[in-house]
Amino acid sequence: MTLAVFFGCTFIAFGPALGLFLFTIARDPLRIIILIAGAFFWLVSLLLSSLIWFIAVKASNPQDESLQKGLLIFGVMFSVLLQEAFRFLYYKLLRKAIEGLVALSEDGCSPISIQQMAYVAGVGFGLMSGAFSMINLLADALGPGTVGIHGDSQLYFLTSAFMTMVLIFLHTFWGILFFHGCEHRRWWEITAVVVMHLAVSGSTFCNPLYVGSLVPSYLLMATAAAWAYLLSGGSAQNLRRFLLCLRSGASPQPAS
Amino acid sequence: MITFMNNSDSEEEPCNERTSLMSAESPPVPSYQDGLQPSEAGEVQAHRKRRTGSSRSPNNIADGNMSDSGVPVREGTLENEEEELTLKYGAKHVIMLFVPVTLCMIVVVATIKSVRFYTEKNGQLIYTPFSEDTPSVGQRLLNSVLNTIIMISVIVVMTVFLVLLYKYRCYKFIHGWLILSSLMLLFLFTYIYLGEVLKTYNVAMDYPTLFLVIWNFGAVGMICIHWKGPLQLQQAYLIMISALMALVFIKYLPEWSAWVILGAISIYDLMAVLCPKGPLRMLVETAQERNEPIFPALIYSSAMMWTVGMAKPDTAARGPSQQTWDAAEDGREDHRSPSHTDSQMSETRSPVPTRPITSFEELEEEERGVKLGLGDFIFYSVLVGKAAATASGDWNTTLACFVAILIGLCLTLLLLAVFKKALPALPISITFGLVFYFSTDNLVRPFMDTLASHQLYI
């Protein structure tokens, strides 16, 4: 466990998110506030779900292994559902905020659209989720020790970093999908997000059989990415134009 | 508090650099005097609002309207524009405060996590005489409550003393007090801090180099803070001294006392700022009545200001230049463009300047800045630093407290924009911070640890 591992895992886990933050969020103060508020909402959901799990554990027999395992599974699922519930609450809050911004703006339109808010909220959720999963690991990576010396997987840090990265991305895309579903009253989009989240969290139960957790998560991420891209107004033509750097008519870059 | 009010409270040590009355030296801007005479009538209410406005631009804009009380016909349209400006600049102001608060917290947390000196128990301040080394929980709790009572009383006494000094115009005394406390912070505490950092990283430094470094740091700091200097350098110094002060508190306050003190000081802040006879409120009102800038050196100002101002702006010339500048800004400045005959307008632009030098454009720009008391910086950093020091090595707790404090600050600024009066900046943030500290440390940590040991992800 060296500085190399520390920096490597940090940048694997948070590099893309940092890029997203720097290029799309850092310039606009309103987006930064929405990001931090999103992180706060995720934090509150985690707090409540930890409370429930803590009470359940304290009320149960600590010797009973299978019960504890069952409680853990219950805790994870409940936490996922609560996160999505708070995402919905955050959506409601942002809707109200947009109405406020519209009312107070000069030209009757809000300085930020609900789609941008959805994206930023997703990044906020993702960053906080990733930070809570990864920061303690990174701090330990700086210290002495050997990974997997007791027979566990030696790839613990690396896979954790990759899992964190995929989760951050997934939260971003889920934010877009969720808010779109709420906006247009498409309940199946919302359910799809919840189901995907449950699937990703459930797949981590396969760990340390990483092929069972990382591969499905990345596939789900690709699906969610494509879906979010299409919902945000992207299309195959846009992508082609962007990749080929064409400038005929419409701008090749997708609107941020 | 989000005005400079909180500077003067929590004066734990006699030579605590918390308030400054540089106004003793800085003459009120002459160009405003012309505008001020006719508006004396509306002054009283204007001052009440201007006090709050002096620390953040939404309120400055609000003040503009309040001072317009003599011209009610403009009130309606100006209200709307004022609201626009409030929200338009609201997000920017929040970020202008997020950044320094974050920087201060990062400095404190980085120091706490790396330099062991600040987490070692090495005695206590005389303001917290009761030791917490007692075996029984009840005794420990009692001791921490007693410590808190003593600390808060010291703070109240200091604040009241300061208010009295200010009321009776003992500027020299206050001035000397502040100079002494900044000297101590900038030289002695920095010397100790540098010494500990060098020890931690096992870096040798000879005394001549040390003397040179400390001397330059301290001298430039004194000049920047108490006189003139580039805004960003001044901000950096204020952040550094807040961090140093917070580190001292983290080191010398015993554990339970620290938490109880944090809670008690938020309540005190709430009362001192909102109660009609609160010392801080009276302090600011007095300053407003005298039309003096209050404590310019010990408020963090995020205003975008020109560094060396023009001494006496030419009233004739500033009109058009102001307008062109305004036009460049946003094009909606019509109601704010100064005309020296417009007394109300000029009054809006005489809020608390952070620097004795004033140029019209400077203050115009400065209105759009926000000011936060250094006391707030210090206590936010104490909370996060204590979380970093005592949360069993858990970074999640520190992160949770950090986010909680930022959200509290955001909410406070929102309430400020809604109520347009002075609000204490400590209560909401500290409450959130405390709630999140205790809940994350006790509830979330076991959950996340269990998840991490099975490599589960939520």
* Cβ separation B443–A43 shorter than 8 A: no
Residue A46's alpha-carbon distances to A132, B118, B134, B391, in angstroms, are 10, 31, 35, 18
Is residue B101 assigned to a domain?
A: yes
User: Which chain B residues are within 8 Å of A100, Cβ to Cβ?
Assistant: 87
Is residue B152 assigned to a domain?
A: yes
Q: How many CB atoms lie within 10 A of CB B428?
A: 22
Catalytic annotation present for B376: yes
Q: Any idea what DSSP says for residue B299?
A: E
Interface A-B, measured as beta-carbon pairs within 8 A, has a size of 118
**Distance separating the N- and C-terminal Cα atoms of chain B:** 37
* Cβ separation A40–B332 shorter than 8 A: no
Is residue B196 assigned to a domain?
A: yes
Is residue B272 assigned to a domain?
A: yes
Minimum Cα–Cα distance from B92: chain A residue: A29
Write out pLDDT tens, residues B120-157. 888 888 888 888 888 899 999 999 999 999 999 999 99
Q: How many CB atoms lie within 10 A of CB B263?
A: 15
| Partner residue facing B447 (CB), from A40, A53, A80 | A53
Dmax over CA atoms of chain B, in Å, equals 74
Strand partners, A209: none
* Cβ separation A33–B439 shorter than 8 A: no
> Given this model, what pLDDT does residue B252 score?
92
> Given this model, what pLDDT does residue B16 score?
38
> Given this model, what pLDDT does residue A249 score?
54
* Residue B329 amino acid letter: E
* Cβ separation A72–B456 shorter than 8 A: yes
Write out pLDDT tens, residues B146-188. 999 999 999 999 989 988 988 898 888 888 988 999 999 899 9
Is residue B449 assigned to a domain?
A: yes
Is residue B407 assigned to a domain?
A: yes
Is residue B405 assigned to a domain?
A: yes
Residue A181's alpha-carbon distances to A119, A188, A192, B214, B397, in angstroms, are 13, 8, 10, 59, 33
CA–CA separation, B35 vs B30, rounded Å?
9
Catalytic annotation present for B9: no
Candidates A46, A32, A11; CA nearest to B447 is: A46
Contact, B296 vs B352, CB < 8 A? Answer: yes
Compute the nearest-CA separation of A89 from chain B (Å).
16
Give 10-residue mean pLDDT values along chain A (256 residues). Answer: 90 95 93 96 96 94 89 95 96 92 81 93 96 93 86 89 96 96 93 96 88 92 94 87 73 51
Is residue B401 assigned to a domain?
A: yes
Compute the nearest-CA separation of B371 from chain A (Å).
17
CB-based contacts of B28-31 (< 8 A; 24+ apart in sequence): B28/B291, B28/B292, B28/B350, B29/B313, B29/B350, B29/B353, B29/B358, B29/B363, B30/B312, B31/B312, B31/B313, B31/B315, B31/B318, B31/B340, B31/B346, B31/B360
The complex's ipTM works out to 0.92
Count structural domains, chain B. 1
The secondary element (H helix, E strand) that includes residue B300 is strand B299-301
Best mutation target among B428, B437, B457 (most A Cβ atoms within 10 Å) is B457
* DSSP structure string for chain A: --HHHHHHHHHHHHHHHHHHIIIIITT-HHHHHHHHHHHHHHHHHHHHHHHHHHHHHHHS-TT-HHHHHHHHHHHHHHHHHHHHHHHHHHHHHHHHHHHHHHHHSSSSS-SS-HHHHHHHHHHHHHHHHHHHHHHHHHHHHTSS--TTTTSS-TTHHHHHHHHHHHHHHHHHHHHHHHHHHHHTT-HHHHHHHHHHHHHHHHHGGGTT-HHHHHHHHHHHHHHHHHHHHHHTT--HHHHHHHHTT--SSS-SSPP-
User: Which chain A residues are within 8 Å of B439, Cβ to Cβ?
Assistant: 47, 50-51
Q: Characterize A94-104 residue by residue with b for buried, 16 or more Cβ atoms within 10 angstroms of its Cβ, and e for exposed.
A: beebbeebeeb
* Cβ separation A43–B395 shorter than 8 A: no
Which residues, given as ranges, of chain B have pLDDT below 50? 3-76, 305-366
| Partner residue facing B455 (CB), from A83, A135, A204 | A204
Q: Which of B9, B68, B269, B342 is catalytic?
A: B269
Contact, B92 vs B297, CB < 8 A? Answer: no
> Given this model, what pLDDT does residue B47 score?
34
Domain that holds residue B433: 93-300+370-454
Q: Please report how the helices B137-167 and B255-274 are oriented relative to each other, as an axis angle in degrees rounded to 10.
A: 40
Candidates B425, B418, B102; CA nearest to A32 is: B102
Contact, B228 vs B307, CB < 8 A? Answer: yes
**Which residues of chain B approach chain A closer than 8 Å at the C-beta?**
83-84, 86-88, 91-92, 94-95, 98, 332, 393-396, 399-400, 403-404, 406-407, 410, 436, 439-440, 442-444, 446-448, 450-452, 454-458
Q: Is the peptide bond before B135 cis (omega within 30 degrees of 0)?
A: no
